[in-house]
Amino acid sequence: MGNYVFRKAEAGEAQKLQDLAYNALPSEFSGVLTTGEIDYMADRLFSQEVLQNNLSEGERILIASKDGTDCAFGSYLKQGPDLYLINKLYVIEGYQDQGAGSALFDEIVSAIKKEHPQRCTAELLVSHSNPQLGFYLKKGMKPVREALFDLDDLELVQQVLSLEI
């Protein structure tokens, strides 16, 4: 289950992140979004340009690897003095249900704690119908409100989950 190694994504790794996203999204959102919606989301959120901008604007993206193969990535972003947003958490097909997501989540929480040793809150947006909702609840996150996630042609009502760190 374990033995994951984590590293911070570097500025030149937008292509690597895009490849990971395109591999992970279909299985991560199967039954939640249509194929067309997944493709639209991938193009809007995971183009190399968008990922490069995310990195240059301060989003911390962590890549998980096991046995030398990159298998998951996640990110967090400071939103306020004591507030962080866990913005991405994706595991590629073949590594799901093997502890990669849990290890990555724990690594992101640990990175936030190192960056902000005082008490703070981490939030994450997840669809009500996303099968991963139970995972986040098991990790101690609590539902606090709903928010509209608007990507022009794709609007999703998301549940905002919160974790006190």
Domain borders along the chain are: 5-164
Return the bridge partners of 7, or none: 63
pTM for the full model?
0.85
pLDDT of residue 136: 94
Q: Is 3.40.50.980 the CATH number for 5-164?
A: no
| Confidence check: pLDDT of 26 > 80 | no
Return the bridge partners of 78, or none: 84
Q: How far apart are CA 132 and CA 144, in angstroms?
A: 17
| Confidence check: pLDDT of 109 > 90 | yes
Between the alpha carbon of residue 22 and those of residues 42, 78, 122, 145, the distances in Å are 7, 25, 26, 29
* Range scoring the smallest mean pLDDT among 32-36, 52-56, 111-115, 137-141: 32-36
Largest alpha-carbon pair distance within the chain? 42
Percent of the chain with pLDDT over 90: 47
Closest CA to 90 of 31, 151, 23, 13: 23
84-96: average pLDDT: 90
Between the alpha carbon of residue 41 and those of residues 28, 93, 160, the distances in Å are 12, 18, 19
* Range scoring the smallest mean pLDDT among 31-35, 53-57, 135-139, 147-151: 147-151
